[in-house]
Amino acid sequence: MKHIIMVSLMVIAFAKVYSQGPPITADKPIMLGGGSFTMKTLTEIRNTERGTAVYAPVMLHYLPTSNSLVAIHLPYINYDLADASGSSFADMKIMGKYQFYRKDGMGKTFRMVAKTLQTLPTGEELDLMELSTGKYSGYYGVVAGLETLKYGISSEIGYNSMPDGTLDEFRTKLGFGLPLLKPVYPNNQLNLYFEYTSSWLHERDWYQLMYAQGIQYARKNITFDLALQLPLVQDMPDNRKFNYSLFLGTRYTF
């Protein structure tokens, strides 16, 4: 009887206290309870050989059920590029997710999610990938992840289609999360993230492999994110090469 109680408490604790919060530049298939909202922002300061852009979205995520999610991203951008400068509303995004596979064990869970991200052409035609292109695109992918009390692994593979542009992209992501504190409830956690993003823009014959080192502090239902993303491999014109991106974010779930 004592063993059954201990196992039950561990399962309940894991259901309420994930070892990591959401990744910073990657994604994960873990979802909270149905009917929950998350307000978040993740400001990106992107510096390239072409110039600098500051992208600041306000994002609202809603879970109608425990295995589905819908979201809207309303972004603002300030840019100082070699061929343009100014401030404007960027491309609005609508996201949907559906969790189609879940397998739970004691202190661990593995899940898979189908994901779509529809980018609407509400921004300026700045040719800034994922920020402001002024063109419609649709992304379709699958996110898979294993999370335990000691670590988390997430992966994503997908394709972004831009019918009226040349930014069609094969995209893959791989992330590792490492909690530095023991799981407690209410949540009080410090996490390190190691995240890789691969992008192949086959119409332009461009390729990028990026690495992001992040740190996150999670307290109850609030998280604070900080990450620095750097290029590992770049096969693209010199005047469009990526130097770095700095990410600053907060999330509040209610």
In this structure, what token pair is assigned to residue 151? 């670590």
* pLDDT in the model for residue 16: 43
pLDDT one-digit tens code per residue, 37-85 = 999 999 999 999 999 999 999 999 999 999 999 999 999 999 999 999 9
CA terminus-to-terminus distance, the chain: 35
pLDDT one-digit tens code per residue, 213-254 = 999 999 999 999 999 999 999 999 999 999 999 999 999 999
Q: Mean pLDDT over all residues of the chain?
A: 91
Reply yes or no on whether the pLDDT at 189 is more than 60.
yes
Backbone angles phi, psi at 5, to 5 degrees: -65, -45
* pLDDT in the model for residue 20: 60
Confidence of residue 33 (pLDDT cuts 50, 70, 90): confident
CA distances to 9, 87, 115, 215 from 47, in Å: 47, 16, 28, 20
pTM: 0.90
* pLDDT in the model for residue 23: 92
* pLDDT in the model for residue 3: 39
* pLDDT (average), residues 197-225: 97
Confidence of residue 22 (pLDDT cuts 50, 70, 90): confident
Confidence of residue 187 (pLDDT cuts 50, 70, 90): confident
Residue 66 falls in which region: left (phi positive, over 0), alpha (psi -120 to 50) or beta: alpha
Q: Are 176 and 150 in contact (CB under 8 A)?
A: no
Query: Would you identify the CATH topology of the domain 27-253?
Result: Lipocalin (2.40.128)
DSSP string, 95-154: EEEEEEEEEEETTEEEEEEEEEEEEPS-S----BTTTB-SS-EEEEEEEEEEEESS-EEE
* pLDDT (average), residues 9-26: 58
pLDDT one-digit tens code per residue, 84-137 = 999 999 999 999 999 999 999 998 999 999 999 999 999 999 999 999 999 999
Reply yes or no on whether the pLDDT at 148 is more than 60.
yes
